């Protein structure tokens, strides 16, 4: 069937529908229907409708006398109508239902049956019910908004106010939460106290601390700053040296670990002996013991 044969003729249902839409319905149509583009769909229906107002294909049948007649063929689907109107299928379905409620479109056959399409027919009624059409579209809009809010609520946090809860309250938002709970009396105790020393322990070395004691070694904090090697004792030492040595053996003073001036002097190398907690009475370096014994004037025999 060509487009000329499909076009509505003057005085047809489609022609009357177009005149009513342009001159009577549009001035009285509510603004909400115009915002929903219902009038755009009605203009599309008038354009694609047959002369008798049906929305479907026509079948051309030849008569016996050489003339032809047309019968209703396959109805237009909602998808085809939506494509002709340049609209979404869901919106086209809502607008078509509003037009049916207004009385400007009727349905022949059963809608919603799988595998079959209902036949829509345009009706140039003089008194369309635009209020019913507007109420239907408003109800559809409210229903979809409610469904959208329910979907948003399901995706929200469990403490949202829509579900009767409240967001958690943090005592210290800057640090991300409340301070930890401490046992009773813990707040008055001194924090960071070092543990008590045990037997045999010594504090770690720090800046300015003395080096650990090495038996028989030479203190590294001597005045000249150089380590003194072995110095043999000369036979026949002065009397003051012998007296000083005997004095230290008789009444040895107790040296102060923090005062190097009170440290004992080794008679073998003439260097100070660092006090040791393990050998507090040591008066000679370990490596100088043999030399001191060999050169001690009290034990060595002198020639007559």
**How do residues 11-39 score in pLDDT, each as one tens digit?**
799 999 999 999 999 999 999 999 999 99
Please indicate, yes or no, if residue 141 is contained in any of the structural domains. yes
The torsion of the CA quartet 257, 260, 265, 271, rounded to 10 degrees, works out to 120
Please indicate, yes or no, if residue 190 is contained in any of the structural domains. no
Please indicate, yes or no, if residue 42 is contained in any of the structural domains. yes
pTM value surpassing 0.75: no
With contact defined as beta carbons under 8 Å apart, do 8 and 122 qualify? no
CA-nearest of 8, 27, 31, 4 to 121 is 8
Asked if 149 and 229 sit in the same domain, the reply is no
Asked if 221 and 147 sit in the same domain, the reply is no
The domain total for the chain is: 2
Please indicate, yes or no, if residue 85 is contained in any of the structural domains. yes
Dist CA 265 CA 283 (whole Å): 7
Dist CA 7 CA 46 (whole Å): 10
pLDDT at 291: 60
Task: Give the angle subtended at the CA of 14 by the CAs of 10 and 17, to the nearest 5°.
Answer: 110
pLDDT at 151: 87
Please indicate, yes or no, if residue 121 is contained in any of the structural domains. yes
Domain interval for residue 230: 216-297
DSSP string over the chain? --HHHHSPPTTSHHHHHHHHIIIIIHHHS-HHHHHTTHHHHHHHHHHH--TTSEEEEEEEEE-TTS-EEEEEEEEPPHHHHHHHHT--HHHHHHHHHHHHHHTSEEEES-TT-TT--PEEEE---SS--HHHHHHHHHHHHHHHHHHHHHHHHHHS-TT-GGGT------S-TTTTSPPPP--TTTTTSPTTPPPPPPTT--PPP-TTPPPPP-TT---TT-TT-S-----PPPSS--HHHHHHHHHHHHS-----TT-GGGS-B-TTT--BPPP-SS-TT--S-GGGHHHHHHH-TTTSPPP-
pLDDT at 303: 45
Asked if 61 and 138 sit in the same domain, the reply is yes
Asked if 30 and 137 sit in the same domain, the reply is yes
Asked if 16 and 110 sit in the same domain, the reply is yes
Residue ending a domain, choose from 122, 138, 153 = 153
Asked if 50 and 141 sit in the same domain, the reply is yes
Residue ending a domain, choose from 129, 153, 177 = 153
pLDDT at 62: 81
Tokens of 103: 């009385």
Dist CA 100 CA 125 (whole Å): 12
Asked if 99 and 24 sit in the same domain, the reply is yes
Asked if 222 and 127 sit in the same domain, the reply is no
Asked if 230 and 118 sit in the same domain, the reply is no
Asked if 10 and 138 sit in the same domain, the reply is yes
With contact defined as beta carbons under 8 Å apart, do 165 and 61 qualify? no
pLDDT at 179: 60
Q: In 167-182, which positions are buried (b, 16+ CB within 10 angstroms) versus exposed (e)?
A: eeeeeeeeeeeeeeee
Please indicate, yes or no, if residue 80 is contained in any of the structural domains. yes
Please indicate, yes or no, if residue 123 is contained in any of the structural domains. yes
pLDDT at 33: 96
Residue ending a domain, choose from 153, 184, 203 = 153
Please indicate, yes or no, if residue 162 is contained in any of the structural domains. no
With contact defined as beta carbons under 8 Å apart, do 58 and 71 qualify? yes
The torsion of the CA quartet 83, 89, 95, 96, rounded to 10 degrees, works out to 70
Q: At what angle do helices 89-102 and 38-48 cross, to 10 degrees?
A: 90
Identify the segments of the chain with pLDDT beneath 70.
Answer: 1-10, 112, 115, 155-253, 291-304
């Amino acid at each position: 069937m060509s487009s000329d044969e499909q076009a509505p003729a003057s005085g047809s249902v489609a022609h009357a529908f177009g005149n009513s839409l342009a001159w009577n319905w549009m001035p009285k149509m509510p603004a909400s229907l115009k915002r929903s583009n219902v009038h755009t769909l009605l203009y599309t229906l008038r354009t694609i409708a047959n002369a008798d107002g049906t929305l479907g294909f026509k079948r051309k049948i030849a008569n016996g006398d050489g003339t032809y007649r047309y019968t209703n063929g396959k109805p237009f689907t909602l998808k085809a109508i939506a494509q002709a109107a340049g609209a979404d299928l869901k919106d086209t379905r809502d607008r078509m239902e509003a037009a049916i409620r207004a009385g400007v479109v009727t349905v022949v056959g059963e809608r919603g049956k799988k595998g079959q399409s209902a036949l829509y027919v345009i009706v140039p009624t003089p008194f369309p019910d635009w209020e019913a059409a507007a109420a239907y579209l408003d109800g559809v809009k409210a229903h979809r908004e409610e469904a959208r809010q329910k979907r948003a609520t399901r995706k929200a946090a469990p403490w949202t106010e829509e579900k009767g809860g409240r967001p958690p309250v943090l005592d210290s938002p800057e640090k991300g939460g409340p301070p930890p709970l401490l046992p009773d009396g813990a707040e008055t105790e001194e924090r960071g106290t070092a543990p008590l020393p045990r037997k045999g322990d010594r504090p770690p070395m720090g800046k300015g601390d003395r080096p650990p004691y090495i038996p028989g070694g030479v203190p590294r904090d001597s005045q000249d700053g150089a380590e003194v090697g072995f110095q043999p004792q000369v036979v026949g030492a002065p009397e003051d040296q012998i007296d000083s040595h005997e004095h230290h053996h008789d009444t040895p003073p107790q040296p102060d670990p923090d005062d190097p001036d009170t440290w004992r002097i080794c008679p073998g190398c003439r260097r100070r002996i660092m006090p040791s907690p393990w050998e507090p009475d040591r008066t000679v370096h370990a490596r100088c013991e043999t030399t001191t014994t060999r050169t001690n004037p009290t034990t060595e025999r002198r020639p007559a």
